[in-house]
């Protein structure tokens, strides 16, 4: 080995590189996917599905009552450690993932509903977590602005910019939207691959602790809660199922880092839950898309 390589920890370097790729690809994906959604829709289209009162009530109840109870129940049933339990509860209380519009697109569901649902759940998450988490987890403090700021600047602002461009310069929006969509697709693929590799040791590490089983059951149960409550329209039902299962990793990580940075189990549970969720839900969305094509062909 060359002299200049002496003392280098190659495993650490590889992990750092993967973590950097993961962070950059996540940032690129969130911004470009939000821009792409804004460039393809009008505000009225996003708000229209949310005028269905029954659907809004079901979505809120599923994401902020049933899913958190599922997380708590699974932790109790499987006897998870305190750290893994807290991580699962953080996932259960954080809704409105930025990946939802992409999942809705793959599932050939209602894109307008996926964006409207995402925005509604993100806003409610910012209000909900500071109230509920201190009651559910002893000693936790939640800064609502820390959660809101990342969601506003990385998600809502690009979405708003896209909507403004669509409203004022529709031809420009039509030219930009395919490019943003392509970039976001490449970014999410890179993010999933780098995320799985970077998190592999964490995924392996929680095997045998009940954590991985809890994540898998949690994702399936959360999807079914949303899917079964979505009504008769397959496009709406698919989006609500996927939107209920895919939790807001950004919001959960903010709380985890603020309060539990010294407990690796909490961060591991949130990160692995986010990665496993994407790996499972993207193929599921593709299958739902095939079902949608078959149903309406």
Q: Which fold has domain 23-290?
A: Na+/H+ antiporter like fold (1.20.1530)
Distance in angstroms between the alpha carbons of the first and the last residue of the chain: 61
Per residue, what are the HEC states of the chain? CCHHHCCCCHHHHHHHHHHHHHHHHHHHHHHHHHHHHHHHCCHHHHHHHHHCHHHHHHHHHHHHHHHHHHHHHHHHHHCCCHHHHHHHHHHHHCCCCCCHHHHHHHCCCCHHHHHHHHHHHHHHHHHHHHHHHHHHCCCCCCCHHHHHHHHHHHHHHHHHHHHHHHHHCHHHHHHHHHHHHHHHHHHHHHHHHHHHHHHHHHHHHCCCCCHHHHHHHHHHHHHHHHHHCCCCCHHHHHHHHHHHHCCCHHHHHHHHHHHCCCCHHHHHHHHHHHHHHHHHHHHHHHHHHHHHHHHHC
State the pLDDT at residue 221: 96
Residue 89 in 3-state DSSP? helix
| Sequence-ordered list of residues with C-beta below 8 angstroms from that of 90, at least 6 positions apart, any chain | 133, 252, 255, 256, 266, 269, 270
Spatial distance between the Cα atoms of 256 and 92, rounded to a whole number of angstroms:
13
Q: What is the pLDDT along the chain (297 residues), one digit of tens a residue?
A: 444 344 444 445 566 777 788 778 878 887 888 888 788 878 888 888 788 899 999 999 999 999 999 999 999 999 999 989 999 999 999 998 878 888 998 999 888 888 889 888 988 888 898 888 888 887 777 777 877 787 788 778 888 899 999 989 989 999 998 998 889 888 878 877 877 777 677 777 777 788 889 999 999 999 999 999 988 888 899 999 999 999 988 788 878 877 887 888 888 888 888 888 888 999 999 999 988 877 655
Question: Tokens 């403004």 map to which residue?
Answer: 164
State the pLDDT at residue 10: 42
Residue extents of the structural domains in the chain: 23-290
State the pLDDT at residue 14: 62
State the pLDDT at residue 161: 93
Burial (0-12, 13-18, 19+ Cβ within 10 Å), 268: buried
Q: What is the pTM of this model?
A: 0.81
Spatial distance between the Cα atoms of 37 and 246, rounded to a whole number of angstroms:
18
Spatial distance between the Cα atoms of 175 and 164, rounded to a whole number of angstroms:
15
State the pLDDT at residue 1: 44
């Amino acid at each position: 080995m060359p002299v200049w390589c002496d003392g280098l920890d190659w495993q650490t370097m590889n992990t750092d590189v993967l973590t950097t790729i993961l962070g950059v690809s996540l940032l690129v994906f969130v911004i470009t996917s939000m821009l792409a959604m804004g460039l393809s829709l009008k505000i009225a289209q996003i708000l229209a599905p949310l005028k269905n009162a029954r659907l809004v009530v079901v979505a809120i109840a599923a994401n902020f009552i049933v899913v958190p109870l599922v997380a708590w129940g699974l932790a109790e049933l499987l006897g998870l450690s305190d750290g893994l339990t807290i991580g699962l509860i953080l996932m259960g209380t954080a809704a409105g993932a930025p990946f939802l519009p992409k999942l809705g697109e793959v599932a050939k569901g209602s894109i307008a509903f996926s964006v409207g649902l995402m925005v509604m759940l993100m806003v409610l998450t910012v209000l909900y977590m500071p109230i509920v988490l201190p009651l559910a987890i002893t000693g936790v403090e939640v800064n609502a602005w820390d959660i809101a700021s990342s969601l506003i600047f990385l998600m809502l602002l690009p979405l708003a910019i896209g909507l403004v461009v669509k409203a004022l310069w529709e031809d420009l929006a039509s030219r930009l939207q395919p490019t943003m969509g392509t970039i976001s697709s490449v970014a999410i693929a890179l993010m999933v691959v780098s995320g799985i590799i970077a998190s592999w040791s964490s995924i392996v590490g929680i095997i045998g602790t009940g954590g991985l089983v809890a994540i898998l059951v949690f994702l399936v149960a959360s999807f079914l809660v949303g899917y079964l409550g979505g009504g008769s329209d397959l496009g709406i039902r698919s989006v609500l199922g996927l939107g209920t299962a895919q939790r807001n990793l950004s919001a959960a990580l903010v709380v985890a880092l603020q309060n539990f940075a010294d407990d690796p189990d909490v961060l591991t549970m949130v990160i692995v839950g986010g990665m496993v969720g994407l790996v499972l839900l993207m193929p599921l969305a593709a299958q739902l898309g095939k079902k949608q094509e078959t149903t309406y062909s």
